[in-house]
Structures are given as C-alpha cells and as structure tokens.
Structure 1
C-alpha cells in the first residue's frame, strides 16, 4: 500500500501569552510560563489529528523531534519519521524554519503546522513557492488567512486530501501584529507574504478584519508598502490631506497637511509647492502622483489640490496616478464614483472608467471614476 506523506510541525510555545495577558507569545514564553500558563499547541494539534485516525494505516508523518511533533505522534500511535534535530532544549523560530526546509526536501504533500501568526511568518520565510501548507490555529493572534477555522477543520481538510477528494489550492495571506507595540497600546501590523493553502468550503478562515478599520494601522501599512517599493530617481508627488500627511509621517517625513510635497529617494525635496514649481519638478522627470479622496464627496482632483494642474497631470501621466484611501473612506461614498474636476474637460474625459486605490499593504482596489 502506498503511504500518503504528511509533514507536521508544532510550535509548542504558541498560545502561551494569551492566558497570561501578554497579547501574544513572541519573546515572552518564559514569562508566560512563570505566570502559570500551560502549553496548549499539542492539545489543539491532537484535535486535528483525531480526524485522521481512521486513515492511520494510509499515512506516514514526517516531523521534528520532541515537542515539535515527534512526541505527540508517538503518543497517538501514528506512523512517523523524525527529520532534523532541535538546536537546544527550548524550541525557536529557527527550528521552525529548518523543519520546513527538511520536510520540503523529503517531498511531503502537505505540511500541517500548529501556531499563530508568528509561526506563520516563520513558515512563510522558509516555504518554497507552491508548497502546500495548512495552519492548525493554536496561537494568540490569528490574523493570517493560512489557518483553518478550527483544529477540527484542519483535520477534516487533511482527511479529504488523503482520501483523494478534490481540494483546491489558493494563496493565503500571512499577516502579523507587532506584539511589542501592542503591549504599549499601539496597533501595528503588516503583510509578510503568501502561502499556498488548501481552500475548500468553509474550512479556511479569512484574513482578520476588525469591526472598525484602524486608520492608524492602515496608514502604517501603506507607508511600509511605499517604503518597500520606492523607485530610485522617481519623484513622488503627495497631494494634500490627512491621509497622505499621515502616510508621510509614518515614513518619518514632515509634509504639509494642506499643501503638495515632493519626495525622491525617500527624502523630502520640496514642500508646499506652487503649480509652477511642481511642473518644473516633474516635467521631463519620472514621477508618480498620490492623491486621496475627500470623504463623503469623492473628489480626487480639483478640490484643494489645484497645484496639480492639467499640464502637471499630463507630464506625470494618468497611468502613474494612484488614489490612497482607506476602505472606510470609500464606504462614505455609498457607491458613488470618485470625481475629477481638473479644469480641462478633455483631460477629465481621458480618465479611465476606474482607478487603482491603495487601501492597505499590497492591497489595491479598483474603483469607478466620474467627472463633473
């Protein structure tokens, strides 16, 4: 009988910080244990593996020794092989990354991993593109879309795969909060990448969305995205408004709230420019234009940013314009289009039917545009 090979990795420290009121477990596992927290990752993994008991004769697990999988599989009686070695008595993120590499080298069909968003980041750092993985939720923070909605759901998905059921693969986002900032009362998170995950029915959770979108969080994410994608030698024109002012502040730049500013190579090279000054800066020079929408109204050009004139727009190019707006701001439009009123009807007519809107880290929306 041909065996189906599954990988298993458990982060035994995942989830410790929750009961200890530490907002997470990254870097504080010892403190959490001192406060009386009890490891729960293995127990949650056990729930997932119980779904596979009826198929035990058809499965061979590959795993890391001790608390990272070997102990639990031996206790449950599953056939398994141990790959790799732990660095020390306490497991680490490096162990997780090394385990992923070993399991991939062994050619497992699917890697099950138990943890939280920090674990997902470690998996993402080591997983090859296209390697199927599936998270068993065991951490304090579960924002990433690479986890099943419950340990039992993870087990059911793995069971379907072993039984030969059709399981679609999709990209799942890896996101994580900065726990140190969270403990200081600040919310800061970012996108770390994507993993290939099975996607079937209602088994997989969506990327966590708070009931109320955090403007501060979105601006931090947008700043991180912009900083990651600066084009050397390109001039970035930032229009007025609190959205772009806040984005720049997250980059450590002091722009003018109600003016137009220009950034190049991460430096502020001109502030509160006039239309003539702006045209001189972008004419014949590669440039990008970032504007925001007026909440409730939707104007992106022609209201408060007349420095961005028709000749400036033509010099930059409409294909180099991006709107920066949170989803909350877009919802205030109640489905109405974004508006342009450049003062040049021919230019307004030349706008596409929809423009790209930056709404979060590597999150682009397509939103309709109209003109007056």
Structure 2
C-alpha cells in the first residue's frame, strides 16, 4: 500500500529570462524572446535535482505528475517512476500548471511540489485549497515568496524527511510577486497575494525577500571605497545586481543597472545589463582574468541564484578554477548580515558541484578595510 502521494508540477519556461537579462519569464512573448536569445530551459533539470534527493528512500510513496516537460521528463532524468495524470499543450502555459494542479488535487496528493518562480507560485495559489501542503522548487528569476526551498536539493531533503517521518510541522508562508514591467525599469514593486501551507523546516525553506534600499549611505560609501581601492588594472570586474553593488558603481562614477549585471575594466564601463552568454564569451572564450562582485539578498541570504542568473554556473566554475574564491568578492552591510540571525549565506547556481565548491567560510566586505567571515552553505 502506498502511504504517501506526491504531486509534481513543473513550469518548463520558469527562469528562461534570467540568463538573457530579461528579469523574468512571465508571459508567452517574454518566454519566446528568451528562447530566441539563446536561453535554455533549466526547470526540468532543477526538478530532477530535487527528486534525486529522495528517489532511493525505501519508504512507500508514489509520484503523480504531468506528461513531458510538465513533470514526466524530470522524473525520467532522476530515474523516478511516475504516474501521468494530465497532458497539456506544447509549449505549456499558466493554464496547464493550473489544470495539472487541479488533476493532482483530484487524485489526492499529500504534498504538492511545484517548480518555477513567483509567477508559478501565484498560479498554484489560485487553485489549491488553504490547507493543502505545498513546497516550491526554485527555478524562476524572481523568487520573493516564502513557499520555496532555498535550492532544489533542499526541497528534496525536505521531502525525504517527510517520507521518513522526521518532519511533520507545517506553517503558512507568503506568496509574493512583483511587477515585471516595472522590474525591467529598475523598480521593485512587491505585492503579497496570500499564503500557502509549507513544511516548517527553516534551514531549507527561504525567508520572504526583504525589499527596499539600504538606508545607511555612509556604510555603503565605505564599502564602495574599499572595493574601488582594491581594483586591479586589466581585470574584468563583473558587477552583480543590488543596491550595495550600485554604490560601488556610483563611487566609480559609472551608470549602473540596478537589477542587472554590468562589466567594468580599468575604471570604465565595458558592457551594461549583460546576459550569461555574453559574460561567458567575454571571460571564458576570451581567456580574460575576471572577478565577481556580488551582494547578499536581504532576509534570504542568497549570493547566487536569485535575480542574478546571468552569473552562470559555468562562469563561476571557470573563475573558481582561475583564481579560487579570491575571484569572488561579497559586499554587504553588517545590518544585512545580522538580519540573517546567524544563518549562512546561500548559493544555488544550478550546478551542485559548483555549489559545493563555494561552501565554507568566505570573507564579506562590510566597510572600509573592514571584513567579516561568514559561512556559505548549499543546503
């Protein structure tokens, strides 16, 4: 007898816009444009990463999902048997995510797993009853909602704990989303849509992203002065998104893409709002020495995998091989780090091997000639 029934919904278009600097993938037109620009679907692989964490558990369970890219493809990648309860159109739409969810609910699943970003969370929220346990596997560009695990592997570990009976508590978490059109213009407008019920394993479930710009301008100016002082000639500096990195660009007197990635060399702006493919050509193909400057997402602690998918796992792996962790400079105010309440910084590059290389202690620049050591984890 099967004791635990798991439903799986994959939004195969989730995250397509991230690597090509479109700041999201909501809508068929945006997804089509992302594919024209060379973006590749990552959601099926990220779903498979989660499934692999519990596929070998001996406990009795069954997985129900949709045909093809809606879930069955991910099960095949993970070597996981599944029962198909819905077949949708190609390419899939939000309507398919909702229809598959309704089919899974009708079949009676104990836990609903879904793969995507904030738009997908909203689609799921629109059809699930209030007391249906769910868990998001992150694959989107925008992940402000608290219903997602911090990484695909973390989601899989939560499921494994549930199957083993070690995790029984659930809690309500916020479903959040932002206006993508405003986001592309550099404005974050987050809105709370409601709550869904998720497993209460705080180590593995991300916090709701804290919005707003750092208010302590003096601290940001000190951080910026320190970073600029350390910049070497003829090195390509890849400037990640966020207000702390924006302060460094301001110190350099350069235009900045607040929610994108820019490239600087010898004090000059080389490229603005670049894509993952462009960065790989500039660094890997050109064999150019480069360094990454990134900040921490307030409240969540991510330094990779949230809003900066332009920084691909391939690029990060190349830089680590080139210069080790010295190729990475993390900048953040102590206030932002204190908001994490002792939790580690998180990485979710999409490649577990790269994530593991980034784990351990890392130096974070918190002021002028002021650094702290912080643990990095990939749960």
TM-score in same-fold range (> 0.5)? yes
> Any conservation in 1 of the 2:130–2:197 contact (CA below 8 Å)?
yes
**Could you tell me how far 1:213 is from its partner in structure 2?**
6.7
Q: Deviations over 1:186-238 (max 9, x none)?
A: 32221111111111141111100036379xxxxxxxxxxxxxxxxxxxxxxxx
> Any conservation in 2 of the 1:110–1:131 contact (CA below 8 Å)?
yes
TM-score if structure 1 supplies the norm length?
A: 0.55
**Could you tell me how far 1:184 is from its partner in structure 2?**
2.7
Q: Does 1:41 align with 2:52?
A: no
**Could you tell me how far 1:168 is from its partner in structure 2?**
1.0
CA distance in 1, matches of 2:179, 2:202: 31
- Write the mapping of 1:1-372 to structure 2, written as runs, cut at 5 A: 1-27=1-27, 28-55=30-57, 58-86=60-88, 88-210=89-211, 212=213
Q: Deviations over 1:41-96 (max 9, x none)?
A: 1111111111112226732110011101012213433221111220x211000111
- Residue of structure 1 equivalent to 2:335: none
Q: After TM superposition, which residue ranges in structure 1, 4 or more long, deviate above 6 angstroms?
A: none
- Residue of structure 2 equivalent to 1:327: none
> Any conservation in 2 of the 1:17–1:24 contact (CA below 8 Å)?
yes
Q: Which of the pair has the greater relative contact order for Cα pairs under 8 Å at 6+ separation?
A: 2
SS of 2:206's equivalent? coil
CA distance in 2, matches of 1:169, 1:57: 21
SS of 1:7's equivalent? strand
> Any conservation in 2 of the 1:59–1:79 contact (CA below 8 Å)?
no
> Any conservation in 2 of the 1:12–1:40 contact (CA below 8 Å)?
yes
SS of 1:195's equivalent? strand
Any stretches of 5+ residues in structure 2 without a counterpart? 216-379
CA distance in 2, matches of 1:7, 1:213: 40
SS of 1:55's equivalent? coil
Q: Number of paired residues?
A: 214
TM-score if structure 2 supplies the norm length?
A: 0.54
SS of 2:148's equivalent? coil
CA distance in 2, matches of 1:35, 1:158: 35
Any stretches of 5+ residues in structure 1 without a counterpart? 215-372
CA-atom RMSD, angstroms? 1.8
SS of 2:105's equivalent? helix
CA distance in 2, matches of 1:139, 1:47: 15
Structure with larger Rg: 1
SS of 1:82's equivalent? strand
